[in-house]
Amino acid sequence: MGDVRDRMRDDLRLRCYRQGTQDLYLAYATKFVAHFMRPPAELGQEEVRTFQLYLQDERKFQAGTIKGYLGAIRFLYAVTLGRPDVVAGIIWPRMRHKLPDILAGAEIEAVFAHIEALRYRAILMAAYGVGLRISEACRLCIGDIDSKRGLIHVRDAKRGRDRYVMLPTRLLGALREYWRVARPPGPLLFPGEGRTGVVSPAAVRQALRAAVAKSGVTKRVTPHILRHSFATHLLEAGTDIRTIQVLLGHASIRTTAHYAQVSGRVIAATTSPLDTLGTSEAPKRG
């Protein structure tokens, strides 16, 4: 796309999109333009519609990937090219909302027992212990750990928001054990190979997959499922959903309320109106 690509990159930077999102949007927009082998200024609503049909006909593309392509195309025309009319008629794909497998406490213990590298164990304990996203855990700095106040300062999280989360005693112990062995020079708590940049989230995921395979746990386990399990276990323990929202860094309580659907214990403990018929708790007519 030449100059248009450079301008789109600058527009993404000006709007503080994360580097990963910038790279993805630029790649998707480039593939869209290459599909028609014409400059983006010569393309319009009909080409956008044709391309979306192409993505949906290619069964290898999931709804989330299609949304990524459409988001990039919308940014290209609505922001960079100043032609919002081209993308005004985009029809967003319907997402299938799957409920994640929530791990039992014994399953989480089994997985942690098979994570050999101290830094990976500490990072994944942070994913479950305080509900951090994998990117948030990998980017932690030494100064973010406040052992005196019992807090972790999560900086520049999703949408640029900061927040505080608790510092569990067991996580603090894991961090101190890692510190005694690794002695990271700072400011990063988990520097990458060669001490440049942060540890790769891909490497953490690989370590988790290896631990799950050894543990005998048959459920699908990812760092984000550890975060889901954190929220669900808090809910089942009676923690207020507003508190869980703050800990997870959700912008909307509706996102956090999703865990009420996940928690089988909460659902099972809910009394059906059928069981109140003939009692003083039976529904009254309005």
Catalytic residues: 133, 158, 224, 227, 250, 259
Q: Is the peptide bond before 168 cis (omega within 30 degrees of 0)?
A: no
| Nearest CA among 15, 251, 249 for reference residue 155 | 249
Q: In this structure, are residues 231 and 248 in contact, taking their beta carbons and an 8 Å threshold? A: yes
* Phi, psi (degrees; rounded to nearest 5) at 214: -75, -30
Please give the backbone phi and psi of residue 259, each rounded to the nearest 5 degrees, phi first: -70, -20
Q: Cα angle vertex 232, ends 21, 165, to 5°?
A: 65
Angle between helices 63-75 and 19-36 (to 10 degrees): 90
Give the strands of the sheet with 163-166, arranged side by side. Answer: 145-146, 151-154, 163-166
